[in-house]
Amino acid sequence: MDLMDLFAAILQDGSVVAWGIPHFGDISKVQEQLRNVQQLQAGCAFAALADGSVVTWGNRDGGDSSQVQDQLRAVKQIQGTKHGAFAAILRDRSVVTWGKPNSGGDSSAVQLRHVEQIHAADRAFAAILADGSVVAWGHELYGGD
């Protein structure tokens, strides 16, 4: 994954290593939580899916998921926009979002139930629902409307 001048990779043992300019995201603060990582997403921060929960780091929007951390349990997929927003599909097919609001971090204007997949773009998300319909949110000029 690439975040400006910081990179991260999942190793075979499920741990994560990062290298580059640490100003953009100091992994050392969360390194111990990064075990059994299955998925890694980058935007203006990093989000890792590990054992059904999410670990975030970075010094920009999206790197602090503390406002929603108690909701990030039983996660099956994460996606991130390039500009600091993340979305997580939970096992019950609901969605939790965080990060920069106008890049998709605020999904309160849309109904996200029975979500099958989420795709991220530059500053917006699109979710495919179980009935085949699509819901989009985020910056309206970047596909969020």
CATH assignment of 2-142, given 3.40.640.10, 2.60.40.1180, 2.40.40.20, 2.130.10.30?
2.130.10.30
Three-state SS across the chain? CEECCEEEEECCCCCEEEEECHHHCCHHHCHHHCCCEEEEEECCCEEEEECCEEEEECCCCCCCCCCCHHHCCCEEEEEECCCCEEEEEECCCCEEEEECHHHCCCCCCCCCCCEEEEEECCCEEEEEECCCCEEEEECHHHCCC
| Reported confidence tier of residue 24, pLDDT bands at 50, 70, 90 | low
Structure tokens at 5: 């001048």
Total-model pTM: 0.92
Asked if pLDDT for residue 1 goes beyond 60, the answer is no
Q: What does the pLDDT look like over 73-107, one tens digit per residue?
A: 999 999 999 888 999 999 999 999 999 999 999 99
Q: Is the pLDDT of residue 2 over 60?
A: no
Q: Which residues, 6+ apart, have CB-to-CB distance to 145 below 8 Å?
A: 136
Higher local confidence (pLDDT), 73 or 3: 73
Domain chopping of the chain, boundaries: 2-142
